[in-house]
Structure formats: structure tokens, C-alpha cells
Amino acid sequence: MAHILVVEDDQSLREVLRMFLSKAGHDVVVTATGEKALKTLSGDEEFDLVLTDLRLGEMSGIEVLTGAKERFPQTEVILMTAFSTVETAIDAMRKGAFDYIGKPFKLDEISVIIEKALEKRDLSLENIRLRIALSDRYSFDNIIGKTEAMHRVYEKIIRVAPTRTSVLITGESGTGKELVARAIHFNSPRREKPFVVVNCGAIPDQLMESELFGHVKGAFTGAHATRHGLFESADGGTIFLDEIGELSLPMQVKLLRFLQDHKIRMIGGTQEISVDVRVVAATNRDLGKLAAEGSFREDLFYRLNVIGILLPPLRERRADIPVLVTHFIDKYRREMGRDILGVSPEVVEILNNHEFKGNVRELENIIEHAMTFAVGDKLTADSLPEHIRARSDMTDRQEGNSIFKVPDQGMDLEGLLADIEKRLLLEALKKTGGIRKDAADLLGISFRSIRYKLAKYGLGELD
């Protein structure tokens, strides 16, 4: 059911529309003049649709249209008139009218237009709801951490978000680089415009240029129609180039050119198109090192790294683990409908001792798994993923071994470590039949290292 305002000075048509729309299930308000329509619109009552005559005596339907759009921008307006002209239609559409219908008209004709107008309004409202939800989801409240390292991240986001400066976010996989990129966008003046994500490592190099900049019809085999690229799709907003270190050198040149003049050219096109897009890039690689090696353009690195944000790995901010655990429990308690209130002391110990090579993403996955299999109102060790429990058990066994205990009388640490290293070398050589290269692989060291160590312990003559 839609809330519709009908503005029509012809009483018979006004009544016909009122009865027709009411029969269709809509809530209808009717008025005969533009003045009364504007008075109705000036209140708190918001209409989904305004259906107004163009000629209303002293006031025109264009004035009703303008008043409705000023008060409620998402309200759709359809104009009716017996004096249809192209100029009037263009003026009405420019001022925000959804459509324009000439009198006389059939009810089924205007019914189709009304249905499409209401569909457009529903879509507009849904887009607004999604933007609000995204803005809330990617606010600073969802970048969790109380450590000094995370406070530095917050401060940089606050400072850089209002600008149009390029940003380079670095950090290991799973540290939340996309979350930071979204926080920058949704806390910027561009928040109402698109946020477009491009995974540079997932798109084949031969397709990358077309994906980013688009192509015209017939530009290459298979280009059956003109296709706009992701930079155009992000116009007015932000484009997030994830895994920027995977971009090929030829594409790096094209990206550098865009950063210099903010213009793109479609494949096969002859015109340059100006695009207003902010570039935020992310990588888990050392771009400075890649630039020194020649696999990443140094000038592009400096263009992207105007503002750099480094996300620390979780192992370097373990004080944030309890805060993150609480956050993820709250998140999945709502999503799963589980009444989980906390974690057992054993789980706290296991998580505090875990390496978290997958960082925050790995911790979230662990909590989601535990929430799924938990029995009772707390997460226990039994609800954790099997590989986490197994690793914890191994650590416990190792720590129970006397080798990890310092005797009261003291110890020769260097001699003990040398003895352990020597035994492991001999064990590896035994397992590989004396083949040093295979033994080095087994121990995770280079062939040069194993040769040095064997010589160090007088084992160099062994084959």
C-alpha cells in the first residue's frame, strides 16, 4: 500500500482517481489546488507518490513538483496535462518528475506508470537503508582494538577520510585492510557515492584493462557491446585496489597516468573521460622492496603512498584479543540466535598462546566455529576447531618436557641449543639417507646453511 497525494482541479477526474487508487489498495489524499497541496506537503506526512495536474489555476503543477521534491526528495511525482509539449516535459523531468502523461488517458495506462514510479521509490529507499547499514557496519566502532598501534590507525583514518588523497594500506592477510578502506570511504564526503572493490590478484592480466577502464563495441574479439569500466562505476566515490602489488607493469603505467590527470580512455576509444575517483590501495607485500627490485614502479609507489596506514598483525597486539573475542561473540550471537555469554578460562589461554598467522580473520573464523558447536552458555575448548585444540595440546606436551624447565642450579643454554641442533641434523640426515639437500629441505633451511652447520659440528664429512 502506497501513500498517494492527488492534485486535480477537475472534480470528476479527481474522484475517479481517488476511487481507482483506493480500490487498488492505496491510501489516497486528494486536493483541488496547488496551494492546498503544498500545505499538505509542508507537514510531517510523507507521500510515496504525488499525482498532479500541470495547470491548477494560479499555481502550476511544476510548483507542486518543486515543493514536493524540496520537502521529500524520495517522493516520486507524475504530471498530468491536456497541454503536453516537449519543452514542458523536459522541464518537468529536469526538476525531478518521474514521468508525464497526457490527457485524456486510460486508467490502465496511468496504472503502469504509477507502478513503475512506486518501484523506483522502493529501490531508492532500499539503497538509502543499505548505505546507512554499511555506514554503521564500517564505522570506527567496527575496527576493534584498544592498543596504541590501533589508536594510531584510528587517528590516520580520521585525518585522511575528509580528503581526496590517495591512501596505501599495508599489512598481513587478515588484518582488516578492506575494513579500513571502507571506513575511510564511509566517513568521507563521498559516502553517498559508490565504493568499488577490485581484487588485482583475482583478475587475469589480459582482462584487467577492460575491467578498470571499459571498452567500446568492436574493440577486440568478443567485444559485442560497449562496456563501462570500474573507474566509471566509481565516479564520485572510491575505488579500492586490493592486492595492488599483483598489478602488471603495463597496468601500473595506466594507473599512474590516471592518478596524474584523473582521465581514462576505454579500449578502442578515442576520447578521454574525466572521472572523479579516490584511489585507496592495499597490499600484504613490501612495495618499497618490489620497487627497488624493479617489479613495481617507484613513481606509482610514491603516488599511492601519499598517506600510508600500517595494520599491525594480531600477534603484535595481543591485548586486543579479548576485545575482539567479545565483539565476534556479540556479532554471531545476533546472527545465530545463540545465548553465548563468554569463554572459559581454558579458551582464553589457548587463544592467548595461538600464533594467529591468519590474524583477525582467523580469530573471527575460530569464534564462528566455536559458536556453532558450543554447548551451554560459554565457549569451551571442545567447541574450538580441531586443529586449534591439537596445536594447543602439542604446546602443552612440549612445555611439560623438562627441556623447557630451567633447573635451580642453572644451565648452559648455548651448549644445550647446540646439542639439540646437532641431534636434529643427524636425525634429518638419517631420515634422508645422508642426502644433505633433502635434509636441508626437511629442516626448512638452505643447502648452504646445512653445509655450514655440519662443518660447525664436525659432521661435514658425512654423505
Exposure string of 99-114, with b = 16+ CB inside 10 Å and e = fewer, is bbbeeeeeeeebeebb
CB 306 within 8 A of CB 165: yes
Q: Which H or E run includes 309? A: strand 307-310
315-402 has CATH 3.40.50.2300 classification: no
398 pLDDT more than 60: no
Above 90 in pLDDT, residue 9? no
- Measured between alpha carbons, how far apart are the two ends of the chain, in Å? 86
The 3-state DSSP class for residue 191 equals: coil
Round to whole Å and give the CA distance between 291 and 434: 41
The pLDDT value recorded for residue 387 is 81
Q: What percent of the chain has pLDDT over 90?
A: 43
Every domain of the chain and the residues it spans: 3-132, 144-312, 315-402, 413-456
The neighbour count for residue 329, using CB atoms within 10 Å, is: 22
Res 451 pLDDT > 90: no
Query: Residue 244 has what DSSP assignment?
Result: G
pLDDT confidence of residue 307: 92
| Phi, psi angle pair for 70, to nearest 5° | -65, -40
Rounded Cα gap, residues 44 and 432, in angstroms: 83
DSSP state letter for 312: P
Higher pLDDT, 242 or 71: 242
Highest mean predicted confidence (pLDDT) among 93-102, 126-135, 364-373 = 364-373
Question: 3-state class of 53 per DSSP?
Answer: strand
Q: Which of residues 23 and 128 earns the better pLDDT score?
A: 23
* Whole-number Å distance between alpha carbons of 59 and 36: 10
Which cell numbers in the block locate residue 432?
Answer: 634422508
pTM check: above 0.85: no
Residues in CB range of 268: below 8 A, 6 or more apart: 215, 216, 217, 218, 219, 220, 223
pLDDT digits (tens, 9 = 90+) for 173-210: 999 999 999 989 988 999 889 999 999 999 988 889 99
Does 295 have pLDDT greater than 60? yes
3-state secondary structure of 165: coil
Backbone angle region of 359, left / alpha / beta, with phi > 0 → left and psi within -120 to 50 → alpha: left
Q: Measured between alpha carbons, how far is 372 from 106 in angstroms, rounded to an integer?
A: 58
Binning the chain into helix, strand and coil, the percentages to the nearest 5 are 55, 15, 35
Confidence of residue 84 (pLDDT cuts 50, 70, 90): low
For residue 339, give the amino acid letter: D
d(CA 124, CA 222): 34
Out of 1.10.3720.10, 3.40.50.140, 3.40.50.300, 1.10.10.60, which CATH number does the structure's domain 413-456 have?
Answer: 1.10.10.60
Distance CA 42, CA 132 (A): 25
Fold (CATH) for 144-312: Rossmann fold (3.40.50)
CATH class of 3-132: alpha beta
Q: What is the pLDDT of residue 205?
A: 84
The residue behind cell 558447536 is 373
What is the average pLDDT score of the chain? Answer: 86
> Band of the pLDDT at 462, cuts 50, 70, 90?
very low
Among 254-263, 275-284, 367-376, 431-440, the least confident range: 431-440
Residue 27 cell numbers, joined: 491510501
CA distance 13 to 56: 13
pLDDT tens sequence across 90-108: 777 778 888 888 888 889 8
Are residues 338 and 197 in contact, defined by beta-carbon separation less than 8 angstroms?
no
The pLDDT value recorded for residue 254 is: 94
Decide if 3-132 and 144-312 have a common fold. yes
How many Å apart are CA 192 and CA 185, to the nearest integer?
A: 9
Burial class (CB in 10 A: 0-12, 13-18, 19+), 87: exposed
pLDDT, greater one: 135 or 389: 389
For residue 401, what are the CA distances in angstroms to 353, 395, 405, 418, 446? 17, 10, 7, 18, 29
Q: Which of 360, 316, 462 lies closest to 144 in space, CA to CA?
A: 360
